[in-house]
Amino acid sequence: MYRDLGYYWLRFVIYIALCLCVGTIYYDIGHDYGSIQARGSMLMFVAAFLTFMAIGGFPSFVEDMKTFGRERLNGHYGVVTFVIGNTVSSIPYLALISIVPGAMAYYLVGLQKSFQHFAYFALVLFVCMMLVESLMMMVASIVPDFLMGIITGAGIQGVMMLNGGFFRLPRDLPKPMWRYPMYYIAFHKYANQGFYKNEFLGLTFPNTQAGGPPTISGEEILRDVWQVEMGYSKWVDLAILFGMVIIYRVLFLVIIKFAEKMKPKVKVFFSRLTTRATRVIDPPPAASLL
């Protein structure tokens, strides 16, 4: 990972550029009524599109899987060792990407100034990138082709983004499929709600709507504007995201184990089919039958 520039270093540079763009576009958005929508849009971009960039490491994931396949056949290490090693090795790079570019975007925009709020922001960004990497590792273990893997991973994330509660508010999502269960499966739901709770709780904004009170609290914004579930704290959202990371990594391990056991059986099955087809196409000569 350290030697491969495309694995994390190029992404680190791109993240810095993107976060500088976000920070300058939303620079010092203030606390007027219009900043409510601006804050929500900025946080959604971080939760959705910054984490989406993790698919850029897919070519390196594919090469990792090829290297693992060769070394596994040589008996150097097992599947569990590979999954744990890959996870632990990626943590310092993802932490670096979360903290440095994240701080640029966070403080340029002028979100809540306390260190606790920034630490939560960086933690959610870190966990979301780990989730996307886990998803792409699963895709790489199933679809080793580079182009097909990128398309598959991007498609899965696109569906999750649409159900994250920003492009379509939770109560407006069609219930049979998109509200139940897709809204609760998409990690963007928990990332968005964690970001919103972290930012809006404790703030007050002037209310420009006619006939309303002079100010509107952050809790009212969460409940009425963004339709956030207020029955639990932002730390529960973060805990759910961590749990999803564990589930994704366990699924990655199970997929590798399953593929390892099924590949020999598939090869035997296709070899038998080939042998039978050859016998039908090329029957033995009549003299040999006598």
Tell me what the mean pLDDT of segment 154-159 comes to.
90
CB 224 within 8 A of CB 110: no
Q: Please tell me which residue, 195 or 269, carries the higher pLDDT value.
A: 195
Mean pLDDT over all residues of the chain? 88
pLDDT given at position 289:
47
Q: Which two tokens stand for residue 95?
A: 């932490």
CB 83 within 8 A of CB 48: no
Q: Coil, helix or strand for 90?
A: helix
Q: Coil, helix or strand for 235?
A: helix
Q: Which two tokens stand for residue 246?
A: 């564990």
Nearest residue to 188 via CA among 12, 51, 19, 95: 51
Q: Which two tokens stand for residue 76?
A: 């150097």
Domain residue ranges of the chain, discontinuous segments joined by +: 5-289
Q: Which helix (H) or strand (E) holds 265?
A: helix 234-281
Read off the pLDDT of residues 249-266 as tens digits, 9 standing for 90 and up. 999 999 888 877 776 666
pTM for this prediction: 0.87
State the Cα–Cα distance between residues 26 and 40, nearest whole angstrom: 11
Tell me what the mean pLDDT of segment 21-27 comes to.
95
Quickly list DSSP for 181-230: IIHHH-HHHHHHHHHHHHHHTT-EEE--STTS-SEEEHHHIIIIIS----
